[in-house]
Amino acid sequence: MTAGGVLVAEGIFGVVRGRRGRNGERQRGGLLGGIFGIVFGVVFINIAGFISEPAVDDPVEITGQVVGVERAGTSGENDTQMYRTRIAYTVDGESYEFSPRGRSSWRPNVGTEVDVVYSRSNPEHAKRIGGIEEWGPRIFAVAGWFVLLTSAFSLIISVALIVFGIWLFRQGRADRQRSGEDRGFFGDLAAIARDVWAGKMDVAQTAAGTAGGGQGPGQPDAAGPAHGARSR
């Protein structure tokens, strides 16, 4: 029963699978961690799609030039100044200008040459290639898919742990009922939960398979090791 309760706790809270954050506190996973991870992954993927420049039909690559730099708000906890550029290019003697969607904390110099691709059938449609405007969205997309896939895998593990933990818990209850114990299902569950919150049961050590006394109610005493082993 204790092992089943611990597996359920691990599936819900992710105690053993948690990591320590930058503030030194342990960040737990479990069901909520997996769900939040999937949400963040989807958000990152959508951000990548939003900041990506639209595709250019029948593209032609030429060299453009930065003709202007404007402030584009701030970013981050330190309110880092962000910049957006204006890029000019010439097609058949006619000049065109555009501003990429992306922003950068690095302020480019006016007159810097950059790579541009424009549409042969519609020269006004162009985008910058290379630089943060191109690889920035890719980083968001890769990070989003990585978080999404790893969180989905963690969520599957959490569900499996919960299901298996409930099965073990029910098996333990069946043994106790055969021995004459008539406490209800929720009473048993509440007893284990109280031990977890009171610190009498070390979830991390028990889930990792560390043996020891005082790991919850119904544990064997010195007079009954055989029966205790079967109940766990």
Query: In tens digits, what is the pLDDT along the chain, a chain of 232 residues?
Result: 777 877 887 887 776 666 555 555 555 567 888 888 899 999 999 988 877 777 888 889 999 999 998 888 888 778 888 888 899 999 999 999 998 877 777 888 899 999 999 999 999 989 888 776 677 788 889 999 999 999 999 889 889 988 898 888 888 877 776 776 666 656 666 666 676 666 665 555 554 444 444 444 444 444 444 444 444 4
Q: State pTM to two decimals.
A: 0.56
For the purposes of burial, counting CB atoms within 10 Å of the CB of 94, is it exposed (0-12), middle (13-18) or buried (19 or more)? exposed
- Name the strand (E) or helix (H) holding 99: none
In the sheet that holds 94-98, the strands lie side by side as: 94-98, 80-91, 59-75, 113-119, 126-129
Residue (of 184, 187, 153) closest to 14 by Cα position? 153
DSSP 36-55: HHHHHHHHHHHHHHHHSPPP
Task: State phi, psi for 132 to the nearest 5 degrees.
Answer: -65, -30
